[in-house]
């Protein structure tokens, strides 16, 4: 594939990492010639049950609440329209959530780099940005890295960490989420990032998940336990991939 589609990072271990500009896919090489695809942190934590079925049902219910009222008489065409909308409710909600996440991360990166970006105008993004800024200033945050690609040469995984910063004298990995709370996979992601950063010589000694959806909620991550749990999931990922290769 043409080099203009890739960004590169040289790892202290001697490996070279490349990743696509659109954020999809990581590959690693020891000689710069042969490239090995490596799974991302979120691919691996995606094995966890995130209760997506229950979430999808809630999106359908909320959609129908907005369409159906007592006494409403529907034509066959209106019934078809509503059913079609209900069938896409979870996908539309997922796309909206992904868009919020992308917008918030872009704003946060600019803010944390001191670029003074304008405050988002739409809710809930504006409240999320205000909550993050208040918390950051209140804790004397000092950014070291943001949106940094990380790689573990021993366990062969890669990912992009939201933020590495000094907070009250500690070097901390921070993961920003637009969810209402921190979920188990978020804790494992931070553990994975911390493990990879230590391989680069960064003495990370703390991890936090900042959930911004319904007012700022900060979850402290037990790094060693989360990293160990992630490595178990990493092995499960390889096992499942091997099963797929069996004819």
pLDDT in tens, the chain (247 residues): 455 688 999 999 999 999 987 767 999 999 989 999 999 999 999 988 655 456 555 656 676 677 777 777 778 887 787 777 767 765 665 566 556 667 887 888 888 888 889 998 888 889 988 988 999 999 999 999 998 999 999 999 999 999 999 998 899 999 998 888 899 999 999 999 999 999 999 999 999 999 887 778 899 999 999 999 999 999 999 999 999 888 7
- Yes or no: say if 16 and 32 are a contact pair by the CB < 8 Å rule: yes
Please tell me the pTM assigned to this model.
0.79
Residue 112 is predicted with a pLDDT of 83
Instruction: Give the C-alpha separation, 98 to 178, whole Å.
Output: 9
Q: Which of 225, 239, 156 is nearest to 196 (CA)?
A: 156
Q: Which of 213, 227, 243 is nearest to 44 (CA)?
A: 227
Alpha helices in 113-222 (DSSP H): 125-138, 184-199
Instruction: Give the C-alpha separation, 9 to 52, whole Å.
Output: 34
**80 in helix, strand or coil?**
helix
């Amino acid at each position: 594939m043409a080099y203009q589609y890739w960004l590169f990072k040289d790892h202290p271990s001697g490996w070279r990492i490349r990743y696509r500009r659109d954020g999809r896919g990581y590959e690693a090489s020891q000689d710069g010639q042969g490239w090995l695809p490596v799974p991302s942190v979120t691919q691996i934590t995606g094995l966890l049950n995130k209760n997506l079925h229950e979430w999808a049902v809630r999106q359908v219910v909320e959609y129908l609440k907005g369409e159906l009222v007592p006494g409403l008489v529907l034509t066959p065409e209106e019934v078809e329209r509503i059913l079609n909308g209900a069938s896409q409710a979870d996908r539309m909600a997922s796309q909206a959530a992904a868009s919020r996440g992308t917008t918030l991360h872009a704003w946060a990166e600019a803010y944390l780099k001191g670029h003074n970006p304008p405050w988002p105008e739409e809710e809930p993004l504006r409240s999320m940005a205000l909550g993050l800024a208040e918390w950051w200033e209140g804790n004397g945050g000092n950014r070291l890295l943001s949106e940094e690609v990380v790689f573990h040469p021993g366990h062969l995984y890669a990912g992009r960490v939201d933020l590495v910063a000094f907070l009250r004298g500690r070097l901390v990995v921070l993961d920003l989420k637009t969810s209402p709370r921190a979920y188990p996979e978020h804790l494992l992601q931070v553990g994975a990032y911390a493990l990879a950063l230590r391989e680069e010589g960064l003495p990370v000694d703390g991890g936090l998940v900042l959930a911004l959806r319904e007012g700022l909620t900060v979850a402290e991550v037990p790094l060693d336990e989360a990293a160990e749990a992630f490595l178990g999931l990493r092995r499960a990922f390889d096992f499942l991939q091997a099963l797929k290769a069996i004819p």
